[in-house]
Structure 1
Amino acid sequence: MTARAVMAPLRVNQAQQLQWQQQADLVVVGFGGAGASAAIEAASRGLSVLALERFAGGGATALSGGVVYAGGGTPQQQQAGYPDSRAAMFAYLRQEVGDAVSEPTLRSFCDASADQLSWLERQGVVFEGSMAPHKTSYPSDRYYLYYSGNEAVPAYAATAEPAPRGHRAKGHGLSGASLFAALADSARRQGVTVRTQCQVRRLVIDRDDQVVGVEAWQLPQGSRAARQHARLSRWAAAVHMYAPALSARLRARLQRIEQASARPILIRALHGVLLSSGGFVFNRTLLQQFAPRYLAGLPLGSSGCDGSGIELGRSAGGSLGQMHKVSAWRFINPPLAWARGLIVNARGERYCNEEVYGATLGHDMVEMHDGRALLILDRHLRNQALRQVGPGKVWSFQRLPVLLNLLFNCRRGNSLEQLAQRCKLPAPALRNSVDTYGRAARGEIDDPLGKSPAMRHDLSQGPWYCLDLSYDSRLYPCPTLTLGGLRVCEQSGQVLDERGRPITGLYAAGRCAVGVASNLYVSGLSLADCVFSGRRAAAHVAERHASHPSPQGEHPCNV
Structure 2
Amino acid sequence: MTPVRAATVERYDVETDVLIVGFGCAGAAAAYEAASAGADVLVMERAGGPGGSSALSGGELYLGGGTPVQHACGFEDSAAEMFGYLAAALGPHADEEKLRLYCDGSAAHFQWFVDCGLTFEPTLWDAPTWMPTTKDGLMWLGENAWPYNEIARPAPRGHRCATDSFGGWLVMEKLVAAAQGAGADVHADTLATALVVDDSGRVVGVSARRHGQELTYRARRGVVLTTGGFADNEEMLADHAPSLIGHGKVSDGLDDGSGIRMAAAIGAATRRMGVVELALTALPPMATRGMLVNGHGQRFINEDVYPGLFSVAAVLTQPAPYWVIIDEEGYESVPEAERWGVVPRFVAETLAELETELGMPQGALESTVGTYNTHAARGQDPYFHKDPRWLRPLTGPFAAIDPRAGFHQGGRPSAGAGTGAAGFTLGGLHTTVDGAVLDVSGEPVRGLFAAGRASSGIHGEGYISGTSLGDGTFFGRRAGVAAAGGA
TM beyond 0.5: yes
Q: Secondary structure of 2:332's partner?
A: helix
Q: Does 1:83 align with 2:76?
A: yes
Q: Distance in 1 between matches of 2:27 and 2:427?
A: 17
In the alignment, which of 286, 304, 309 is matched to residue 236 of structure 2? 286
Gaps of 5+ in 2: 407-415
TM-score by length of 2: 0.93
Q: Secondary structure of 2:480's partner?
A: helix
| Count of paired positions | 477
Matched ranges for 1:380-419 at <5 A: 380-385=329-334, 388-389=335-336, 393-394=337-338, 399-400=340-341, 402-403=342-343, 406=344, 410-419=345-354
Q: Kindly provide the amino acid, as one letter, of the partner of residue 216 in structure 1.
A: A
In the alignment, which of 186, 190, 203 is matched to residue 178 of structure 2? 186
The offset of 1:47, in angstroms, is 1.0
Q: Distance in 2 between matches of 1:446 and 1:65?
A: 31
Q: Distance in 1 between matches of 2:91 and 2:399?
A: 37
The offset of 1:509, in angstroms, is 0.4
The offset of 1:96, in angstroms, is 1.8
Q: Distance in 1 between matches of 2:400 and 2:116?
A: 48
Query: 1:11 matched to which residue of 2?
Result: 5
Matched ranges for 1:431-510 at <5 A: 431-443=366-378, 446-459=381-394, 461-469=395-403, 474=417, 477-490=420-433, 492-510=434-452
Q: Distance in 1 between matches of 2:187 and 2:164?
A: 28
The offset of 1:286, in angstroms, is 1.2
1:197-219: CA deviations, max 9, x gaps? 11101111112221111011112
The offset of 1:279, in angstroms, is 1.0
Query: 1:57 matched to which residue of 2?
Result: 50
Q: Is the 8 A contact 1:137 1:331 kept in 2?
A: no
1:215-271: CA deviations, max 9, x gaps? 11112xxxxxxxxxxxxxxxxxxxxxxxxxxxxxxxxxxxxxxxxxx2111111111
The offset of 1:289, in angstroms, is 1.9
1:308-340: CA deviations, max 9, x gaps? 111111112112222211111125445x24322
Matched ranges for 1:1-400 at <5 A: 7-13=1-7, 18-55=10-47, 56-98=49-91, 101-147=94-140, 149-219=141-211, 262-330=212-280, 332-333=282-283, 336-385=285-334, 388-389=335-336, 393-394=337-338, 399-400=340-341
- Specify whether residues 519 and 182 from structure 1 end up closer, same or farther in structure 2 by C-alpha distance, changes over 3 A only: same
- Specify whether residues 153 and 81 from structure 1 end up closer, same or farther in structure 2 by C-alpha distance, changes over 3 A only: same
- Specify whether residues 318 and 475 from structure 1 end up closer, same or farther in structure 2 by C-alpha distance, changes over 3 A only: closer
The offset of 1:140, in angstroms, is 2.4
The offset of 1:446, in angstroms, is 4.0
Q: Distance in 1 between matches of 2:332 and 2:165?
A: 27
Q: Is the 8 A contact 1:348 1:427 kept in 2?
A: no
- Specify whether residues 172 and 382 from structure 1 end up closer, same or farther in structure 2 by C-alpha distance, changes over 3 A only: closer
Q: Distance in 2 between matches of 1:338 and 1:211?
A: 50
Q: Kindly provide the amino acid, as one letter, of the partner of residue 4 in structure 2.
A: L
Identity across matched positions, percent: 34
Q: Which is worse superposed, 279-288 or 506-515?
A: 279-288
Query: Which is richer in helix?
Result: 1
Q: Distance in 1 between matches of 2:287 and 2:262?
A: 43
Query: 1:532 matched to which residue of 2?
Result: 474
The offset of 1:119, in angstroms, is 1.1
Q: Distance in 1 between matches of 2:77 and 2:113?
A: 20
Q: Is the 8 A contact 2:129 2:307 kept in 1?
A: no
Q: Distance in 1 between matches of 2:260 and 2:429?
A: 6
- Specify whether residues 190 and 206 from structure 1 end up closer, same or farther in structure 2 by C-alpha distance, changes over 3 A only: same
Gaps of 5+ in 1: 1-6, 220-261, 546-559
The offset of 1:379, in angstroms, is 2.6
For the aligned residue pairs, the C-alpha RMSD in angstroms reads 2.1
The offset of 1:101, in angstroms, is 4.6
Q: Is the 8 A contact 1:273 1:506 kept in 2?
A: yes
